[in-house]
Amino acid sequence: MKQDRVLYKKPIKDLPKDLLPREKAVKYGFSSLSDEELLAISLGSGTKGINVLGLSQKILNGKSFKDLKNLTLEDLKKIKGIGFAKALQILSIIEIAKRMEEPEDRIKITSVSDAYQLLKYLSKESQEHMVALYLNSSNELLAKETIAKGSLNVVRVLPRDILYYALKYNCNGIIVAHNHPNASSKPSQEDIDFTKKLFNISIELGFEILDHIIIGKSDFFSFAKEGLL
């Protein structure tokens, strides 16, 4: 709205008191504030040509806080008026919110059997799936991502498809798995070559490939268990 654009250009101290987030929070409580107003308090100040409320509005862009949890540094740098320092401030706020939502007890993976319990559903899939588990330094599960789904027995995956999420979750270790629909879990030469390539690239980037598990109809193959990593 035109009125909003005018308000967003004014210094925050020149706005009516009933529009100031801090004053509203003190008078009515934090639960009375909109997402935009809460973000404005967290940011503290705006940038050249736009006050903190306007900056908050640009960041949210009609979305809620839940929509921001996967926001990246690159996403923020595209927003006019967001510099490097402000972007890091915003990402810090998002990370704090994420950690407050995290369950206290994470799934811990300390063996091939633990990983297989999370992945054995792949034995029932009719198409080939590539899945990755991302772990922290304590071998706790940060995330499970389906990297690709193939047609019949064909999946085309590049190491970067897996490592993209490793960077996103800032993980320490990665367990990769895929299934062989209607076949044994014995690795093909393509599987072996792919695993070596992924392992080498991951090491260079500071991530550890803990295992590559191939899941057949009734069994599974572990590269780590067989000493191939």
Q: What six digits make up the tokens of 79?
A: 């927003």
How high is the pLDDT of residue 170? Answer: 92
* Coil/strand/helix, residue 165: helix
Cβ-based burial of 38 (10 A; exposed 0-12, middle 13-18, buried ≥19): middle
Q: How far apart are CA 95 and CA 53, in angstroms?
A: 21
Q: For 216-225, what is the mean pLDDT?
A: 93
The contacts of residue 81 (CB under 8 Å, 6+ apart) are 46, 47, 48, 49, 50, 55, 58
Q: Which residues of 114-137 are buried (b: 16+ CB within 10 A; e: fewer)?
A: bbbebbeebbeeeebbbbbbbbee
Q: How far apart are CA 75 and CA 168, in angstroms?
A: 13
How high is the pLDDT of residue 120? Answer: 93
Q: What is the pTM for the complete model shown?
A: 0.56
Report which DSSP code applies to 153.
T
Residue 102 has pLDDT above 60, yes or no: yes
Q: What six digits make up the tokens of 186?
A: 């014995």
Residue 103 has pLDDT above 70, yes or no: no
Q: Which range, of 156-160, 161-165, 219-223, averages the lowest pLDDT? A: 156-160
Domain locations in the chain?
Answer: 2-101, 112-222
Mean pLDDT rounded to a whole number for the chain: 85
84: number of CA atoms within 13 Å, CB side? 0
Residue 225 has pLDDT above 90, yes or no: yes
The per-residue pLDDT for range 61-93, each reduced to its tens digit, is: 877 777 777 888 888 888 877 888 888 888 888
Please answer whether residues 46 and 83 qualify as being in contact, where contact means their C-beta atoms are separated by less than 8 angstroms: no
The per-residue pLDDT for range 15-38, each reduced to its tens digit, is: 767 778 888 888 878 888 888 888
Q: How far apart are CA 118 and CA 109, in angstroms?
A: 10
Cβ-based burial of 208 (10 A; exposed 0-12, middle 13-18, buried ≥19): middle
Q: For 152-162, what is the mean pLDDT?
A: 76
How high is the pLDDT of residue 177? Answer: 96
**Hey, what CATH class is 112-222 in?**
alpha beta
Please answer whether residues 131 and 144 qualify as being in contact, where contact means their C-beta atoms are separated by less than 8 angstroms: yes
Q: For 203-224, what is the mean pLDDT?
A: 94
Please answer whether residues 33 and 21 qualify as being in contact, where contact means their C-beta atoms are separated by less than 8 angstroms: yes
